[in-house]
Structures are given as structure tokens and as C-alpha cells.
Amino acid sequence: MTELFHTIRTRSHRHTSDAGASMVEYALLVVLIAILGFVAVQLAGGTLSDTYHDISDQLTNARAN
């Protein structure tokens, strides 16, 4: 009987571990970082594209001269 009680107690402790909660927290952090990265690229993407285009034009003009 004691062995049965020990088995039930051990299994119930495994199901109440915080490992699942930690995994969910990490997943939420990854999603949040991905969203922030996406928003940053959307906001700065046009500016960066214009900057790279200007640099390319200047290099092309410098080479032509």
C-alpha cells in the first residue's frame, strides 16, 4: 500500500512541475522579440533602403568620374 501511495505521489509531482510554464514563457518571449523585429524592419526598412540606394548612386557616380 505504501508503494502505491509513493507511486501516485511521485506521478502527481511530475505533473505539477513548472517546466511547461517556463517553456510557454520562453515561447512568448520569442514571439514578442519576433514581432518587435518585424515592426522595426517595417518602420526602418524604407529609410534603410533609401540610404543604401543613395550610397549605391554615389559609388556609381564616383566610379564614372
Count the Cβ atoms, other than its own, within 10 Å of residue 40: 10
CA 52 to chain centre: 27
**Residue ranges of the chain whose pLDDT lies below 70:** 1, 5, 11-19
How much is the pLDDT for 21? 77
pLDDT of residue 56: 94
pLDDT at residue 46, rounded to an integer:
83
What pTM does this model have? 0.49
The pLDDT score that the predictor gives to residue 19 is 63
The pLDDT score that the predictor gives to residue 47 is 86
Question: Look-up: residue for cell 540610404?
Answer: 51
How far is it, in rounded angstroms, from Cα 22 to Cα 18? 6
